[in-house]
Structure 1
Amino acid sequence: MKTRILRMVLLTLSVSLMSAMCSSDDDGDSNNNSQEIAQIENEVESGTWRVSSFIDSGQDETNDFTGYNFTFDANGTLTATNGNTTYTGSWSVTDSSNSNDDSSSNDDDDIDFNISFNVSENNDFDDLIDDWDIVSHNSTTISLIDISGGNGGTDTLVFTKN
């Protein structure tokens, strides 16, 4: 009888222990990028930035943005100015784990750096409008990439802090 009770207690403890180890957030989507998103936002909201490299489908178009300083405001406003001309747009950093625009279909934990300007299609700043994937970032550099769904071309954009 004691052996039977001991087995029941051990079985109950085992089941309880196994249940405790399996939490409700083990649904396969353990990608929580909120801390990294906040870090990126803090990095870019500090100071002004310049385009140090912009490669559009193999073409170096960095010079199109020479002299422009970019300011990423905390309210989501993006301003690019070269002293004479100012473009205003918006920016955001989002978790793209549920998007279908990722550069790699098996990479669900990437973060998008979204840029938008209200410009015509023939304006150089139209080339920056996209939901860029973040390749790397730190307090002085943010490297972005986009693989076009249309022509399959790869664009890279690098902002460097002034």
Structure 2
Amino acid sequence: MKKVFNLGLLLMLSFSLMSSMCTNDDDGGNPNNNTLQIAEIVSTAQSGAWRITNFNDSGQNETSDFNDYDFSFNSDGSLVVTNGSNTVTGSWSVTDDSNSNDDSSSDDDIDFNIFFPVPESNDFEDLNDDWDIVSTSSTKIELIDVSGGNGGTDMLTFEKN
């Protein structure tokens, strides 16, 4: 009887150890992996010249600050903006930010990052941010940023030329 009890205990311990060592990978890996979606967004952004059709900075419409400017999101990470007489160069990227603290709508968001090395007084400095993506299509990229400082919400929309 003691052997049956010990065998039962041994089996129970074995199953317990095996189940604690297994991982759930029914999702095929990291549940926060947005690699395919990021590749699609990057491809869309690189597909031509874009213009800003909406820039709302904490309730104030500042779209006109960027009238006549074309934005080119290049494959080398550079962002070139020109209106024919002025050119501004910055950088851009699309990243998986699975631990974002800049919004509460998702634990697994994708950031559209824009950076221009310009003074704070320059209009292009207002675009510097890790924007959350609202939606993308072949002709439109809609972005949002909820400010941690003043709680304001900024909206930025690019449309393809």
- 1:1-162 matches, within 5 Å, as 23-25=23-25, 30-100=31-101, 102-104=102-104, 107-162=106-161
Provide TM-score, normalisation by structure 1: 0.82
Rounded Cα–Cα distance in structure 1 between residues aligned with 2:26 and 2:58: 40
- What's the C-alpha RMSD, in Å, of the aligned pairs? 2.5
Following superposition, which runs of at least 4 residues in structure 1 exceed 6 angstroms of deviation? none
Rounded Cα–Cα distance in structure 2 between residues aligned with 1:139 and 1:77: 20
Deviation at 1:94, TM superposition (A): 0.3
Deviations 1:116-158 (A, max 9, x none): 0011100000000000000000111000000111100000000
Rounded Cα–Cα distance in structure 2 between residues aligned with 1:95 and 1:147: 17
Deviation at 1:103, TM superposition (A): 1.3
Deviation at 1:98, TM superposition (A): 2.3
Unaligned runs of 5+ in 1: 1-7
The aligned amino acid for 1:97 is: S
Deviation at 1:99, TM superposition (A): 3.2
Rounded Cα–Cα distance in structure 2 between residues aligned with 1:151 and 1:49: 29
Match of 1:38, SS? helix
Match of 1:156, SS? strand
Please identify, of 106-115 and 84-93, the stretch whose mean Cα deviation from structure 2 is larger.
Answer: 106-115
Deviations 1:81-100 (A, max 9, x none): 00010000000000010233
Deviations 1:36-86 (A, max 9, x none): 000000000011000000000000000000000000001100011000100
The aligned amino acid for 1:53 is: N
Match of 2:143, SS? strand
Provide TM-score, normalisation by structure 2: 0.83
Work out the number of aligned pairs and report it. 146
Match of 2:85, SS? coil
Match of 2:151, SS? coil
Deviation at 1:25, TM superposition (A): 3.7
CA 99–26 in structure 1, closer or farther in 2 if over 3 Å, else same: farther
